[in-house]
Structure formats: structure tokens, C-alpha cells
Amino acid sequence: MGTLRLSVGRYTTQNEVDASIRKIVEAVRRLRGGTTYSKSADLGAIKLTQFTHGLGCACKLRPKMLESILQKLPVHTHPDLLVGTETSDDAMVYRISDDVALVSTVDFFTPIVDDPYLFGAIAAANSLSDIYAMGAKPLYALNIAAFPSGRLPAEVLEEILRGASDKAAEAGIPIAGGHTVEDTEPKFGLAVTGVVHPQRILRNQGAKPGDAILLTKPLGTGILSTALKRGMLDPVCYETLIQNLVSLNKIAAEVLVDFTVHACTDVTGFGLLGHLLEMCQPAGLGARLIFDNIPFLPGADSLALAGAIPGGSLDNLAWVEPSVRFADTLPIHQRVILADAQTNGGLLLAVPENESHALLHALRERIGGQVNLIGHFTNTGLIEIQ
């Protein structure tokens, strides 16, 4: 806890100073812990998004900053480390035999919704998504929780953990333990371990010019969650947002097994354009996207136009702009949606053109019509939006 230095006005009375001191002391005590709450009185009124500055994956470090830090660190190699840090992939992969490789990932963030149970379920689904994006099957998970016990009742953490446990059960895995720390903001996520055959790993590298680009979920979770925090989200859009956020990428990953997939990642904190750029840059590839084919959540367009834009999405746009050529007619707010920081976003796939329509049909049969073919990879080294 730091030191507060306060200046008072010339005509401030001693009574006013004393009253201010009491309020400051009360606030410090709340932050340090020890305040008790009744479950019945507080849970329904608590809005988790009011306890944090960022929302979900939009609270990630700015990509430029993260990139500059990681470039200064040594890259550790090992013959059995099949996927490490070199390509910013979704998880690491370590071979333990000719037929088995372990896949490991960790993901946690601040609340994206107000309801503690839903926050836990969403955070769990988001953490599991990295395993599915690697073509792997999850085995088990561990909780990672930061909790302000002096600001929120213990029942909030209980609900967060229950939501995560139920979502893990839906994925068919146990949560086998975890770790908790005190913090001024609530944060939650999972460390997940999975398994994959070494020859069946899906990576974010490997796309080829001419490959079709498929996206399995609509964009806009960052914008809609920002609107939720500001009281701008109507009930219909809220329900659609929640359905999207809690939906596992499990079924989509199962469909991919029967098709050729050259590359795969999930769209999360760096937005569609950021994660597409990660797929393109190492191989000098480009992409041509058809804007009208890119699915948005209902309300995303109008809410972005109204200014419900996370700071992380603006950072993403600034990061990718040098590598993107937008159609002149595309307004700024729609460009932002393409860079919107997603939480538990869809899978972004590079698929041979001759299999793309069959895969699109199979995905739509299993997970619905929001899946779409949004463009193709090119050899231009530039992402173009038409």
C-alpha cells in the first residue's frame, strides 16, 4: 500500500478534514480485507465488471509491448518441444512418445460479465479453446484465481469456481486443483493440459496461398461487453453475447478431424486481424477478406458506432494497420470490429479450397449458420479488406 499526500483548501475546516480521513481509512480497510458481506444481501447486486479496468481478453498487454518484451528473451529449444514460443501459437506441445504429445496452455483474465457463475464458465471455455485450436483433446485443468476478499464476498469466488467446474465437466475433464492469491481486482482462468498425436497437431503456421479462410464464431464480444459495462446493451443482445461466450469450441474441433486443415488458431485478445496477421507474417503470406462475409454479433455494428469500443481493440487496430489495406468505403468503427478483442472467440482456419465448402457445410450442420468462409490466403504479404 502506497502513501497518500493530500492538499486541502485554505478554508477547509477541521471537521471536513476529519470526515475525509475517516472515508479514506474505510476505503483502505476494504482494500486490505476483513470486511464481511452477507450472501443474500450482496450477490444479486454485485456487478463484477465494475471491479476491473479491463474486460476479458481485452485486458491483455498491448501486442506491440508484448512483442518487444518477448523478442529480448532467449528462445529455449529441445528435440521434443514441438511447439514453443517462436510462432505465438495457442499452446506449447511436448512429445512424450512417438504417438503422444502433451499440450499445455494457461489463460486468465478479468470479468467480462457481471454474473460470477457466468464469468467462471466463460473463463473456463476460453482457456479450453487453446487446446481445441491445437487439434488436441483436453485431459484436466487447474484453477488460477486472484480475488479481492476485502471488496467481494467469498460466495462470489465460490460461484466463479462452480461455473468453471460445470464448464469443465461439459468438456469432459476434471479441475484437479489450483492456486489463489489476493488482488485488488478479480481475475480467473485455467491452466489446461491436453493430448494430441504428434502428427495431428494444428498450428497457426502452415497456411498456403489459395487456402480458404473459415471463421466459426461471430465477432464483437469486446464491443458488446463494453456496452454491457456502460449499461448500453439490450436484453436480446445480452443473451446472444452470453451464448457466444459460454460456447465451447469442442464440436468445431471434432468436425475438423475429417478434413485437411493447414493452419488453425482461435480468435481472442488480438482480434481477427491480429491473429490472422500472426498466421501470415512468418511465411510472408497475405489475405483477402470479404467484409460482408465476416459474421458479427447482433448489435456490434451499432454499438461500435455509438462508441462502445474497448481500449484493447483500438490498440489492436493500431498494431495491424501497417499490414492491412482497408477498402476506402469501410468506416472506422467497422475497421475496429475486425480488430475487436475477443473472449472465447471462434476458430480461424486455413483449409484447401477444394475441401472448404464441404467443411463449411459440416460445421454449419453441427454448430449453426454463424460459420462462414470469409476470404482466402494470398502471397502478397498484405491483408486486404474488400
- Catalytic, out of 57, 59, 237, 264: 57
57 tagged catalytic: yes
pLDDT of residue 89: 64
Give me the CATH code for the 212-385 domain, please.
3.90.650.10
Task: For residue range 294-307, list pLDDT tens digits in order.
Answer: 999 999 999 999 99
Q: What is the DSSP letter of 341?
A: P
Q: Is 172 left (phi over 0), alpha (psi -120 to 50) or beta?
A: left
Q: Is 75 helix (H, G, I), strand (E, B) or coil?
A: coil
Domain locations in the chain as residue ranges? 57-196, 212-385
pLDDT of residue 68: 73
HSE, side-chain direction, 13 A CA sphere, residue 336: 24
pLDDT of residue 34: 41
Residues 6+ apart with CB under 8 A from 147: 156, 157, 180, 181, 182, 183, 186, 187
pLDDT of residue 41: 44
Gap between the Cα atoms of 246 and 320, Å rounded: 28
Gap between the Cα atoms of 69 and 73, Å rounded: 7
pLDDT of residue 51: 76
Fold type of domain 57-196: 60s Ribosomal Protein L30; Chain: A; (3.30.1330)
pLDDT of residue 36: 43
Regions of the chain with pLDDT less than 50? 1, 29-31, 33-41, 56-58
Instruction: Please determine whether the domains at 57-196 and 212-385 fall in the same fold group of CATH.
Output: no
Gap between the Cα atoms of 184 and 345, Å rounded: 27
For residue 249 the three cell numbers come to 469450441
